[in-house]
A and B are shown apart, each in its own frame.
Chain A
Amino acid sequence: MSLDISVINDQGSAQLRIVGEVDMYSSTQVRRALLELVKQKQSPVIVDLNEVSYMDSSGVATLIEGLQMCGEYGGTLLIVGLRDNVREVFELTRLDKIFKIYQNIEAAMAR
């Protein structure tokens, strides 16, 4: 299944908005988009998951890679808008402990 991914750049920071289901076959699109932002050394990279209705382990693994790559240049990756079922995946794998998760973009920007 194809994802709809859009990027808004704003004074060094970037919002990555993902719409759809992130699974084994679509998460590579997220990875490509993250790699592009990492190449530009954006920070913070804010990943907006408000419109993500499903995310499997490949999706969370991709976000972990993104977090690690941002860290390599001193940047940060923030997550916003976790739906309950996606939040469960984060909690199951204890990733809620390593990601900074915010309710919405405003809260992430005001951190």
Chain B
Amino acid sequence: MTEPIITVRDLHTSYGHRKILKGITLDIYPRETFVILGRSGCGKSTLLRHLVGLNKPDKGQILIKGIDMVTASEEEQNALLRKMGLLFQNGALFNSMTVGENVALPLMEHTPQESSTIRIMTRLKLGLVGLSGFENFMPSQLSGGMKKRAALARAITMDPDILLCDEPSAGLDPIVAAGIDQLILKLKTALRMTIVVVTHEMASVFMIADRICLLHDGEIKFLGTQAEMRQSKDPYVLQFIERRADDENLDPDQYLQDLMAE
């Protein structure tokens, strides 16, 4: 059996007194597209931030290629992070730099490459995301979907073997969002990457996911394939798949009790 590339064991974290993740345990395997799904505030972006060491857990283990991100030395962490690409929710392009400079930045900071080689690498990456010829544009001159593509080019500029995407289709119309999902799939196949996507969009989930982890209130409510998810009888899973609003599940007795509670 293939060894997981990412292993999370009994991960707990909190912001102040508020518990955000309550014992998350999961494995992510090489070259799968693993979707972390959940409502706003369920802890999914927090989980993603832990995977790249941006947050420290209260308790638990996060192993990337067998190395514990929590206890790893700075050098070990940096070596792991160089092979992990991160697509931020808002793209996080530097507005004062051109698209090409944004894509080139990690190469200039972390590799011994000459600027002439970096220029070619940047153009190759922009070509992969369908932005050939846009290297001298400023981010402000790009549409939302193009900005996301440029951010994706920057995320893959170091040839990562793990790509983490935080809400890649946030703020995009459904057609542009579908285009980004297709691009993620294309890059995954072409570059043989493991992809972890955080989203709340079911359309995205059904387009890209090999396996899905549904988080609810800091705990895993469901973990499995798309087919397994569709067969689930769990009311919360069904609510998510059918995109039903909360009040359709309202328990009148419970609601009355909540209102009348001392």
B114 near A31 (CB under 8 angstroms)? yes
**Apart from A31-B117, A65-B117, A65-B120, what are 19 other A-B pairs with CB-CB below 8 Å?**
A24-B111, A24-B112, A24-B113, A24-B158, A24-B159, A28-B112, A28-B114, A57-B159, A58-B107, A58-B113, A61-B113, A61-B117, A61-B124, A64-B120, A65-B116, A88-B190, A92-B128, A93-B127, A93-B128
B107-161 contacts to A, CB under 8 A, are 107, 110-114, 116-118, 120-121, 124-125, 127-128, 158-159
Residues of B within 8 A of A88 (CB): 190
Residues of A within 8 A of B116 (CB): 65
Can you list 23 A-B contacts with CB-CB less than 8 angstroms, sorted by A residue number?
A: A23-B159, A24-B113, A24-B159, A27-B113, A28-B113, A31-B114, A31-B117, A57-B124, A58-B117, A58-B121, A58-B159, A60-B124, A61-B117, A61-B120, A61-B121, A61-B124, A64-B120, A65-B116, A65-B117, A65-B120, A88-B190, A93-B124, A93-B127
B191 CB to closest chain A CB, in angstroms?
7
Residues of B within 8 A of A58 (CB): 107, 111, 113, 117, 121, 159
B172-199 contacts to A, CB under 8 A, are 190-191
A89 CB to closest chain B CB, in angstroms?
9
The reply on A73 being an interface residue by CB < 8 A is no
B164 CB to closest chain A CB, in angstroms?
19
A25 near B112 (CB under 8 angstroms)? yes
Contacts from B to A (Cβ < 8 Å) = 107, 110-114, 116-118, 120-121, 124-125, 127-128, 158-159, 190-191
Residues of A within 8 A of B125 (CB): 57
Residues of B within 8 A of A94 (CB): 127
What's the dominant secondary structure at chain B's contact region? helix
The reply on A62 being an interface residue by CB < 8 A is yes
What is the chain B residue whose CB lies nearest that of A85? B192
Bound CA span A93–B118, Å? 15
Bound CA span A60–B112, Å? 15
The reply on A72 being an interface residue by CB < 8 A is no
The reply on A51 being an interface residue by CB < 8 A is no
Residues of A within 8 A of B107 (CB): 24, 58
Residues of A within 8 A of B118 (CB): 61
Residues of A within 8 A of B124 (CB): 57, 60-61, 93
A1-52 contacts to B, CB under 8 A, are 23-25, 27-28, 31
The reply on A56 being an interface residue by CB < 8 A is yes
Residues of B within 8 A of A57 (CB): 121, 124-125, 159
**Best-buried of B111, B114, B124, B127 by chain A (most CB within 10 Å):** B124
Residues of A within 8 A of B117 (CB): 27, 31, 58, 61-62, 65
B243 CB to closest chain A CB, in angstroms?
36
Bound CA span A92–B124, Å? 10
Bound CA span A60–B116, Å? 13
Residues of B within 8 A of A28 (CB): 112-114
**Best-buried of A58, A62, A65, A94 by chain B (most CB within 10 Å):** A58
**Best-buried of A23, A27, A57 by chain B (most CB within 10 Å):** A57
A83 CB to closest chain B CB, in angstroms?
14
Bound CA span A93–B127, Å? 8
Residues of A within 8 A of B191 (CB): 92
What is the chain A residue whose CB lies nearest that of B122? A61
